[in-house]
Amino acid sequence: MRQLFGTDGVRGVAGQYPLDEKTTFAVGLALGRWVSSHHRSPEVVIGMDTRESGPWIARHVAGGLAREGVRPRFAGLITTPGIAYAARSGSFAAGVMISASHNPYQDNGIKIIDHSGYKLPDEQEHALERDILAFGGEPAPLPLTVDEGLDREYLDHLASTLPGGLAGMRIAIDAANGAASHLAPELFTRLGADADCIHCSPNGRNINLNCGSLHLQTLRARVLETGADLGIAFDGDADRALFISHSGKIVDGDAVMWINARPLHARGKLSEVVATVMSNLGLERALKRDGIGLVRTPVGDKYVLEEMIRRGAPLGGEQSGHVIFREYATTGDGLLTALRVLEVMRDSGKDLDALTADLEIYPQILVNVRVKQRRALADLHAVNREIRRAESEFGEAGRVLVRFSGTEPLARVMVEGPELARVEHFANSIADAIRGELG
């Protein structure tokens, strides 16, 4: 059983185990040992989002790398997909992103990306864990200087994917006071759009604070106030994006996949989309109506990507806004996703309301239940009784999913079906049963 790595790297409260000084240094040490065994004179690129803990964690990871003879290069403030791009396009043996994505500033994380641009497979993370846990020395952080050219190369790559630009488009941006704060306005302005950015003033503690992809109210109000063509909301490390239409409608990752799947299918480039178990049943039925299959994976963009590679699928993602376009990237990229959505709007002459008009989204309720312990779901008899009741009522017209979070002490209950009242009833009854058995 893994002790450090969750579904998206090593996560925790900055300054506390496993994100204390000793362990973060050991992460660099273990990574350095691994890349040194596969590369001559290796370099590793390190980036971070805007959390106040990012710089000291970066210095400790860099110190561990240096002790193993690996040269760290520091990209400074950059997105997670920006580090993935640097890792695969440069001479780097690996990349390290210091971010806790959509979590509050007190949290942080360390994501490791190999030279291919992909997140490490589970077995490699397990091997690194053994070295990290075996470390018994003292940390020696390394001072770092930002290499200004690395984020430029990433922006150049993004801009190159959209020939013709975005002249005349009015875009409202919510950068979540995170990694996209300086990159997003520069990219869209460079492509000719009129870009209006809110929450683009990070101070180390305001990342994701009532803003970004988890808090869309302010962006929605801005779109309606200014008459923007659309709004784009990123999370802290900008590996996801959600959208607001001109009329104020929320357009999530499922809708983004729907918008992009149809033109790809029409050009003979796509036969199926890879999504997670969380994607709405409405997406599955809409795709089927157009002759496009939907393949589901466990939650986590790394699992979506693994399945996309196995099947050769060009498009996949998560309802939360992680969308992967394999023609251009090896991971979910909020900035790239925004460009692809804008491209479909530009080329079709349709706004987001028109592009999503025939996508029927089933009512879906997600309840997070804080738990004191984890037990196998098969052993939770009251929970399973409630799940069976829901499944019996909905049949093929609904879905029930219960799982434990990979990053927090939570059980997640998802119920969807044709009637909101019944969906809410069963979501709450299952959540109550979990509280009774694990609370």
Distant-in-sequence, close-in-space partners of 333: CB < 8 Å, separation ≥ 6 = 79, 81, 84, 238, 239, 324, 325
Distance CA 58, CA 48 (A): 8
Q: How far does CA 31 lie from the centroid of its chain?
A: 23
Is residue 298 helix, strand or coil?
A: coil
Distance CA 69, CA 176 (A): 36
| Exposed/middle/buried for residue 218 (C-beta within 10 Å: 0-12, 13-18, 19+) | middle
Query: Residue holding tokens 């251009």?
Result: 328
**DSSP state, 146?**
B
Structure tokens at 345: 């709007």
| Exposed/middle/buried for residue 266 (C-beta within 10 Å: 0-12, 13-18, 19+) | exposed
Query: Which residues partner with 71 through β-bridges?
Result: 43
SS (H, E, C) 183-223: HHHHHHHHCCCEEEEECCCCCCCCCCCCCHHHCCHHHHHHH
Distant-in-sequence, close-in-space partners of 15: CB < 8 Å, separation ≥ 6 = 53
Q: How far does CA 126 lie from the centroid of its chain?
A: 22
Query: Which residues partner with 195 through β-bridges?
Result: 171
DSSP character string of 214-259: G--HHHHHHHHHHT-SEEEEE-TTSS-EEEEETTS-EE-HHHHHHH
The catalytic site residues sit at 101
- Order of strands, edge to edge, in the sheet holding 71-77? 5-6, 9-13, 107-114, 94-98, 43-48, 71-77
Distance CA 250, CA 257 (A): 14
- Order of strands, edge to edge, in the sheet holding 410-416? 364-370, 410-416, 399-404
Distance CA 179, CA 279 (A): 26
